[in-house]
Structures are given as structure tokens and as C-alpha cells.
Amino acid sequence: MQVNGREYRAVWMEGSTVFMIDQNELPFEFKIVEAHQYQDTCHAIRTMLIRGAGAIGAAAGFAMAQAFLQAPKKGTKEFILNARYEIEATRPTARNLFYAVDRVFRAGSGSSEHAVIEAQDIADEDARDSRNIGKYGNELIKDGYSICTHCNAGWLAFVDYGTALSPVYRAHKKGKNVFVYVDETRPRGQGARLTAWELFHAGIPHVIIPDNATASLMSQGKINIMIVGADRVAANGDLANKIGTLEKAIIARTFNVPFYVAAPCSTIDLDCESGSHITIEEREEDEVLYQKGIDREGEIHEILVCSPGSHAFNPAFDITPAHLITGIITEKGIIKPDERSILSLFTENK
Ligand code: MRU
């Protein structure tokens, strides 16, 4: 997507260096960070400089390729296995991370060049799949629709285009009038900081809403459709996504608002029977207790926003059961969130 008239991806690799848009600095600063070694790329994933299922999948694939390039002649196998373990330990929930590492690990048994090619392929496929999700998802969006989304499942969360926002970009490009309600998505504010930044730069009308405003807006008929992304979809259609997604799905069902999940097949985990088997990441309490912002003089500060001395509990994701999901928008079409339809994505020639 374009930023200041230039095409960017959220993450890319040139030579042995991984380049990433620093998502911890957005929306106040647009900064590209370079990771020269796989350990630097791991650090970027762990600290959420790069985040979002597809983007951390691509970054993890590049990290695995970097490990092959860095491997010493003696003790190669041990080095590669340790690197794999380290990359997989960065974040537990998004399926794309494990999918990418596994593919690059296998390819690297041929040569480090094979590993790099595979990692680049994964990134290209992610961008292509996201674009196709936009084509299918656009069919759900009528002229004049208001769409609500949670967290950031835009192009920053993938390599390009995004998932939940890809249909919105497509609809806007096709000349439809669309309006987006952006959940702020506490505690890290991926909606308020990142989705809003993306939409602002794309010229798409939107407002940021407090996380607890969705029910009220839906009860007034102000939201036509809800589209969210996914960190992992289980074989039965259960969804792991940013904390708060479950609440939105329950509210959407209450007010008869269609609730769609946009996700590529690389996010679907056929080995995971149901949502109860998905590991939910618990992050540090400071993400809840402190907030970062910019003052009127342009200075960035991190400040305590809770009662001093109180502790916080910070689960990063929740599980939405399949029965609350209207459909899954994939790169191969829109499917029902059930085992048979999900399996058909991998077995039929789609
Ligand atoms: O913790 P994050 O910011 O990596 O979580 C991202 C989300 O939950 C997104 O909604 C999800 O990844 C789907 S879009 C990639």
C-alpha cells in the first residue's frame, strides 16, 4: 500500500536483512527498522514492532531464512534447531508464524538459497491471498454500508492489503460509499493507532469508537456488517482473535448483524480440533497500566493510566465459537464456519 506516495509492504527481505515498518512507533512516526540477524527479527516479533498474524508469519519465515544464512559450517543442525525453537517461542497464538517457520525449515534442508526463496514465496502468497480476500469480501459490502472492525487486520497486519480491511479497500476503490467504525482495541490500541492510521491514509471515512460502544451502535442499526481478522482458525471453525472479538460476536448475534471473519488458509489449523486447544498469549501487565501518546507540543510520553499499585491481567486473545460466525472470507471464497466447509478448502481444487 502507499505511504507518502511510495509503495510499502509491512515486512520484506533484501539480501539477508529483514525490513519492517515499526508498528510500535505508529501513528506518531513512520519508521523502517532493519533486522540483520534472526535474533533481531525475533526481538521485533516479541516486542510487537511487527504484529498481526500474516505479518509475523512472513517475518518468522524470513527469520528462519536468516538463521540458515547465519548458520556456522560446524554445528549447523544444532544452530538451525535452536533458531527454530527461538523463533517459535516469540508469540504462541497466530498460526501463520508456525506455518511459515515449518515451510522455510523444510526448504532449508536443500540449501540456504532454497530457504530464502521459500520465505519470499510465503510473503508473496500472503499479499496475493489478502488481495483475493478483498475481492470476495467486497461482494458482502453494499453501497452506503457501515462496517465495524476490531483490532488491526489491515495491510500492516499482513504483508499487504490485509484481511478484514481488504474488502473495505476494494469496495472504496470500486466507488462504493463506505464508513468504518474502528474499535479502539485496548490495551495496545491497534484499532485507534493502526487501523485508523491506515484508513486515514487511504482516504476512507471512519471514526474511532470506544471498545464498549459497539452494542449501543448495533442496537441503533448503525452497523451493517462486522468484519474481523483471525490469528488462528480451528478445524471446527472456532476463531482465536484479539481480545474483545468474542464480545463483538455475541453482540452482533443479539442485534442480527452479520459477523464475518477474514482469513487466508495459512491461518487455518487443521490439526487443531477446536478453539479450546489454542494457546492464548498472556502479555505483561504494563500494556494495560501504561499508555503511550503524544502531547500538544509533539512530545511522546508513556504514562500510568490506572490506580497506582493495582495489578492488571492481560490476555491478548479470546476464542469465538464457530456458531457465532456468519462466514469465513478466504482467498478461495466465502465459506461456512464448519468442519466440512473448512476441509473442502484443502481438498477440493479451488
Ligand atoms: O496482538 P496482535 O496485534 O498481533 O493481534 C492481531 C490481531 O488479533 C488481529 O486481529 C489478527 O492478527 C488478525 S489480522 C492479522
Q: Where residue 47 sits, what CATH number does that domain have?
A: 1.20.120.420
User: What was the pLDDT predicted at 338?
Assistant: 97
Q: Which residues pair with 328 in a beta bridge?
A: 261, 335
**Residue 30 to residue 3: CA distance in whole angstroms:** 9
Q: Measure 100 CA to ligand 1 centroid, in angstroms.
A: 16
- Choose the final residue of a domain: 98, 130, 162: 130
Do 19 and 77 fall into the same domain?
yes
Expressed in angstroms and rounded, the spacing between residue 53 Cα and the centre of ligand 1 is 6
CB–CB of 294/312 below 8 Å?
Answer: no
Let me know if residue 117 belongs to a domain.
yes
Residue 136 covered by a domain: no
pTM here is: 0.96
Ligand 1 pocket test, pick from 49, 151, 259 with the greatest ligand atom count within 8 Å of Cβ, gives 151
**How far is ligand 1, taken at its centre, from the CA of residue 113, in Å?**
30
Q: For the chain, what's the residue count?
A: 350
Query: Is 231 designated active site?
Result: yes
Q: Is the CB of 264 under 6 A from ligand 1?
A: no
Q: What is the pLDDT along the chain (350 residues), one digit of tens a residue?
A: 888 888 999 999 999 999 999 999 999 999 999 999 999 999 999 999 999 999 999 999 999 999 999 999 999 999 999 999 999 999 999 999 999 999 999 999 989 999 999 999 999 999 999 999 999 999 999 999 999 999 999 999 999 999 999 999 999 999 999 999 999 999 999 999 999 999 999 999 999 999 999 999 999 999 999 999 999 999 999 999 999 999 999 999 999 999 999 999 999 999 999 999 999 999 999 999 999 999 999 999 999 999 999 999 999 999 999 999 999 999 999 999 999 999 999 997 66
The confidence score (pLDDT) of residue 73 equals 92
What local confidence, expressed as pLDDT, does residue 7 receive? 92
What pLDDT was estimated at residue 350? 64
Residue whose CB lies within 8 A of the most ligand 1 atoms, among 46, 150, 152, 284, for a mutation test: 152
Ligand 1, residue 153: give the atom nearest the CA.
Answer: 14
Residue where the block lists cell 481438498: 347
Q: Is residue 137 part of a domain?
A: no
Q: Do 295 and 301 meet the contact criterion of CB atoms below 8 Å apart?
A: yes
Instruction: Please work out whether the CB of residue 157 comes within 6 Å of at least one atom of ligand 1.
Output: yes
Structural domain contains residue 180 = yes
169 lies in the same domain as 297: yes
Q: Are 266 and 95 in contact (CB under 8 A)?
A: yes
Domain assignment present for residue 26? The answer is yes
pLDDT at res. 5: 85
* Closest residue by CA, ligand 1 atom 5: 52
Residue 88 sits in the same domain as residue 191? no
Distance (Å) from CA 51 to ligand 1 centroid:
7
The predicted pLDDT at position 137 comes to: 98
* Ligand 1 proximity of 153 Cβ (cutoff 6 Å): yes
Residues 294 and 210 in one domain: yes
Q: Are both 19 and 64 inside the same structural domain?
A: yes
Q: Which of 51, 93, 248, 265 to mutate to test the pocket of ligand 1 (most atoms within 8 A of CB)?
A: 51
Backbone φ/ψ region at 137: left (φ over 0), alpha (ψ -120 to 50), beta: alpha
Catalytic residue among 160, 211, 231, 269: 231
My answer on whether 123 and 156 are in the same domain is no
Pocket of ligand 1 contains residue 241 by CB under 6 Å: yes
Query: Of 95, 130, 165, at which residue does a domain stop?
Result: 130
Does the CB atom of residue 58 touch ligand 1 within 6 A?
A: no
Number of domains in the chain: 2
The Cα–Cα gap between 260 and 50 comes to 25
CATH of the domain at 180: 3.40.50.10470
Q: Are residues 121 and 151 in the same domain?
A: no
Q: Would you say the CB of residue 229 lies under 6 angstroms from ligand 1?
A: yes
Q: Assess whether 265 and 305 both reside in one domain.
A: yes
CB 151 within 8 A of CB 190: yes
Note the pLDDT of residue 4. Answer: 85
Q: Let me know whether 86 and 157 are in one domain.
A: no
Q: Tell me if 64 is assigned to some domain.
A: yes
Are 49 and 148 contained in the same domain?
no
Domain boundary among 88, 103, 130: 130
Protein residue closest via CA to atom 7 of ligand 1: 242
Note the pLDDT of residue 2: 85
* Domain around 92: 2-130
For residues 226 and 249, what is the distance between their CA atoms, to the nearest angstrom? 8
* Shared domain check, 235 and 110: no
Within-domain flag for 135: no
Q: Which three cell numbers stand for residue 343?
A: 476441509
Name the closest-CA residue to atom 14, ligand 1.
153
Amino acid at 20: M
**Are both 231 and 92 inside the same structural domain?**
no
